[in-house]
């Protein structure tokens, strides 16, 4: 099978210890992105007060970042088709550093809105291209493991980066959090420049060829699995603090611990699940969706029982979040030559889930079904993602049946 995941003229695969260094450099970028994305949510009250707006209005800053991800991922991936991946990753991290540095200096709510939109633009393209680079330095049989290592930066950010950023914001001011993220982004750019393999883009690469991914039904179905199936995670996560306080009856000090347990589950999932995916990709994706649906269905019971039960439930839910790495690899398989756009669109799909889950969860709460109803909403979304998965697998099987049988030799 032709290696579509490496640039034309790439050198042979590096030794295993060198591929680990490449993955570590790429994961550093994920750590910076995860820290700024989630820490902004936890520091929202302080930022809103300092910039003179109420918290609900300042919530639009979160939406501006997500919009930047959705817009930036396809535009950057398409426009940069002829740029070497290593060069592109360095440029994306420099822009990300600049945008976060400007966020640290934002003089008003309006400027912060603009700077957070700018910060979101490199997000999806970075993860998409970094996943392709990570996969290019390992054998094809370990692609999902490589992608999972890049995503580890994001999951470790939920365990270490976000709590530290929150503490830093409370002690010396929220602006320092964005300054630290800018420094991490510049460090990533330097590490990528030193350790990432040099590559040459395919001479036939073009924005038009990248757009060819949009003509492939399997690309859309794979994106649909993430956009719908992952919405359940965000439905629960968004209202976690209120559920913990109003239903579980735990003290606010329990929230960081519960969030950390969830992050531990995500990290462990990204270490374990990709190993199964590299053996059976689509079955692993389906199993992850079923697992998430079960965890989300049990969430109302766990939340009503105790903070410990809720933490255990969220740890299990975090394990299923490795679905992101699995779908990233699936897109590599179905995108043909339009690798960059398909890889970047995966993160647009997850930000669509980030909008869909909280919206439907909020509707259930507003309708009087209670804070724990987000678990049932999430379960429904996970099952909806499973339905899209079934459609994808069925369509893929039918395509195989339509392929002409090879003519007998001689």
The answer to whether residues 43 and 77 belong to one domain is yes
The reported pLDDT for the residue numbered 405 is 45
Distances, alpha carbon 213 to alpha carbons 218, 322, 334, in Å: 9, 24, 9
The reported pLDDT for the residue numbered 145 is 86
Among 156, 188, 205, the domain boundary falls at 205
Asked if the structure places residue 5 within a domain, the reply is no
The answer to whether residues 32 and 158 belong to one domain is yes
Q: Which two tokens stand for residue 68?
A: 């930047």
The reported pLDDT for the residue numbered 190 is 95
Residues 192-218 as b or e (16 or more Cβ within 10 Å = b):
beebbbebebbeebeeebbebbeebeb
Number of domains in the chain: 2
The answer to whether residues 263 and 305 belong to one domain is yes
The reported pLDDT for the residue numbered 212 is 65
Q: Are 317 and 375 in contact (CB under 8 A)?
A: no
Asked if the structure places residue 221 within a domain, the reply is yes
Asked if the structure places residue 1 within a domain, the reply is no
The reported pLDDT for the residue numbered 9 is 44
Asked if the structure places residue 385 within a domain, the reply is yes
Low-confidence ranges of the chain (pLDDT < 70): 1-17, 42, 55-56, 201-210, 212-213, 396-410
The reported pLDDT for the residue numbered 397 is 65
Output the DSSP codes for 41-103.
Answer: HHTHHHHHHHHT--HHHHTHHHHHHHHHHHHHHHHHHHHTTTS-HHHHHHHHHHHHHHHHHHH
The reported pLDDT for the residue numbered 18 is 79
Distances, alpha carbon 298 to alpha carbons 202, 284, 293, 301, 309, in Å: 49, 21, 9, 5, 10
Q: What is the pLDDT of residues 10-67, one digit of tens each?
A: 445 555 557 888 899 999 999 999 888 878 776 777 888 888 887 667 777 877 888 8
Asked if the structure places residue 112 within a domain, the reply is yes
The answer to whether residues 161 and 33 belong to one domain is yes
Q: Are 366 and 244 in contact (CB under 8 A)?
A: no
341/335 Cα distance (integer angstroms): 9
The answer to whether residues 174 and 241 belong to one domain is no
Q: Is 312 exposed, middle or buried (0-12, 13-18, 19+ CB in 10 A)?
A: middle
Among 180, 205, 230, the domain boundary falls at 205
The answer to whether residues 225 and 101 belong to one domain is no
Q: Are 196 and 25 in contact (CB under 8 A)?
A: yes
Output the DSSP codes for 195-234.
Answer: HSPP-B--TT--HHHHHGGGG-HHHHHHHHHHHHHTHHHH
Q: What is the pTM of this model?
A: 0.77
CATH number (domain holding residue 232): 1.20.1250.20
Domain extent for 25: 12-205
Q: What is the pLDDT of residues 287-303, one digit of tens each?
A: 999 999 999 999 999 98
Asked if the structure places residue 7 within a domain, the reply is no
Q: Are 189 and 90 in contact (CB under 8 A)?
A: yes
The answer to whether residues 322 and 355 belong to one domain is yes
The reported pLDDT for the residue numbered 4 is 42
The answer to whether residues 320 and 200 belong to one domain is no
């Amino acid at each position: 099978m032709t290696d579509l995941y490496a640039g034309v003229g790439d050198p042979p695969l590096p030794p295993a210890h060198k591929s680990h260094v490449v993955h570590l450099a790429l994961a550093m970028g994920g750590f910076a992105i995860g820290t700024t994305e989630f820490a902004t949510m936890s520091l929202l009250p302080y930022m809103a007060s300092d910039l003179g707006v109420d918290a609900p209005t300042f919530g639009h800053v979160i939406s501006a970042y997500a919009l930047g991800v959705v817009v930036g991922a396809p535009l950057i991936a398409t426009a940069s088709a002829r740029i070497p991946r290593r060069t592109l990753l360095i440029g994306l991290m420099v822009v990300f550093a600049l945008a976060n540095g400007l966020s640290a200096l934002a003089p008003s709510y309006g400027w912060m809105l603009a700077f957070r939109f700018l910060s979101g633009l490199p997000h999806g393209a970075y993860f998409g291209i970094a996943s392709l680079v990570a996969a290019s330095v390992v054998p094809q049989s370990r692609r999902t493991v490589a992608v999972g290592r890049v995503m580890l930066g994001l999951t470790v950010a939920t365990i270490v980066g976000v709590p530290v950023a929150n503490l830093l914001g409370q002690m010396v001011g929220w602006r320092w959090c964005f300054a630290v993220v800018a420094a991490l982004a510049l460090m990533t750019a330097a590490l990528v420049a030193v350790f990432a393999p040099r590559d040459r883009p395919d001479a036939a690469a073009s924005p038009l060829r990248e757009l060819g991914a949009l003509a492939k039904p399997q690309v859309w179905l794979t994106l649909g699995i993430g956009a719908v199936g992952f919405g359940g995670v965000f439905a629960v996560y968004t209202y976690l603090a209120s559920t913990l306080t109003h239903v579980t009856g735990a003290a606010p000090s329990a929230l960081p611990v519960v969030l950390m347990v969830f992050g531990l589950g995500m990290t462990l999932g990204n270490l374990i699940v990709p190993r199964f995916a590299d053996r059976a990709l689509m079955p692993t994706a389906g199993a992850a969706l079923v697992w998430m649906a079960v965890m989300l269905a049990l969430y109302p019971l766990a939340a009503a029982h105790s903070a410990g039960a809720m933490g255990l439930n969220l740890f299990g839910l975090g394990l299923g979040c490795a679905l992101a790495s699995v779908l990233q690899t699936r897109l590599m398989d179905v995108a043909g030559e339009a690798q960059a756009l398909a890889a970047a669109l995966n993160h647009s799909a997850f930000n669509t889930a980030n909008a869909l889950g909280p919206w439907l969860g909020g509707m259930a709460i507003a309708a009087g079904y209670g804070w724990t109803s987000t678990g049932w909403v999430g379960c429904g979304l996970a099952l909806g993602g499973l339905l899209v998965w079934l459609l994808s697998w069925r369509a893929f099987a039918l395509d195989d049946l339509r392929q002409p049988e090879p003519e007998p030799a001689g």
